[in-house]
Each structure stands twice: as structure tokens, then as C-alpha cells.
Amino acid sequence: MADSGDHGVPKLQASIEALRAFAENFRWANVDLLAYKEEGSAPFAGITRQILFADPLLGCELRYFEIAPGGHSTLERHEHVHAVMILRGEGRCLLGGRVSVVGRHDLVHIPPMTWHQFRADAGQALGFLCMVNAKRDKPQLPSEAELAALRTDAAVAAFLDGHTR
């Protein structure tokens, strides 16, 4: 954002919560860079979280997650739905038994109780928006048997082993 110059349009102040400017390297004014989850609570690697909108008047929150090159989110499932738009970079996502390549502005809908995980490619970060209900259930991690069942698919096993393209 910048001063428009004409017509006395005021320059945005960082203190105005209503308008938060995009900054360098996918940060925003007045938005904290948070840990993805509590360390040790679940498996993940190289991922951060920023809460872009969390208004009690809205039924959902909008968050921005960024996975460092080669990193990944937790493999998990839950009753609540995720509505994802990729915002930066390229990577792959596991959705149920399927691995797909995802890139900028692609849309991913994660239905209830569907195993899912995002992985950034080795060479670049993967950033994405995620819309989610404000009230939601706790994610479940796969049991050894569930993980073994997922791994019977060669593409899924390669994905889970972090074989990047």
C-alpha cells in the first residue's frame, strides 16, 4: 500500500487494524508469525502460521500457512473441513489416497475425516490460505495400521517418504 498522492488520500497507518498491508516475504502488518502447532504435539517440519482474519462475527477464520522447502504439515484428519487456496510456490498434497501437484491459486477442498498432508518441493516454499470453521474438532493422527494402509499405494508411500520431484 502507498500514498495515492492525489485528492488527499491518506497513507495507511500500520495501526489501523481494518487495513493491514502486505509486506516482504509473505508477512503482513500487525499479523504475528506463529508456530504451526505446539512442538512435539504431532509430526511436522518447517511450517509457520499467520492468522489473517479471526473475527468473532465470522463463522470462519482465514489463516496463512507457509511450509519451508522440503517441509510438511502434519498427516491428519478431522471432522472439520478445510478450504485451501495455494498462494505461493509449488508442492504436493495428499488428499485421501491421492497425491496431487498443487501450485499458485489452485483450490483444495478437504472433506471431513479425510487424511491430508501438504509438502513443499525441495526447491521452494509452499504457502497457502486455509479457511476453517472457528469452532472445530481436534485433529486425529493415523494409527500404525492406518498408516500402513495408506502406504500400500506406491505414490502415497513415496509422498510420505518425502520424495520430491
Just list the catalytic residues. 130
Helix (H, G, I), strand (E, B) or coil at 28: strand
Min dist CB 40 to its own copies, Å, is: 30
CB-nearer residue toward its own copies: 8 or 40: 8
Helix (H, G, I), strand (E, B) or coil at 73: coil
Helix (H, G, I), strand (E, B) or coil at 114: coil
CB-nearer residue toward its own copies: 43 or 103: 103
Min dist CB 136 to its own copies, Å, is: 10
CB contact set of 113 (below 8 Å; sequence gap of 6+): 77, 78, 79
CB-nearer residue toward its own copies: 33 or 134: 134
CB-nearer residue toward its own copies: 47 or 94: 94
Interface positions with its own copies (CB under 8 A): 1-10, 12, 17-22, 26, 28, 31, 52-53, 55, 57-60, 62, 80-81, 83, 85-87, 92, 95, 98-112, 129, 131-134, 154-155, 158-159, 163, 165
Helix (H, G, I), strand (E, B) or coil at 149: helix
For 54-120, where are the E strands, in sequence order?
60-72, 82-88, 91-95, 98-102, 107-110, 116-120
Min dist CB 10 to its own copies, Å, is: 7
Report d(CA 53, CA 134) in Å as an integer: 10
Min dist CB 45 to its own copies, Å, is: 19
Q: What is the identity of the amino acid at 101? A: V
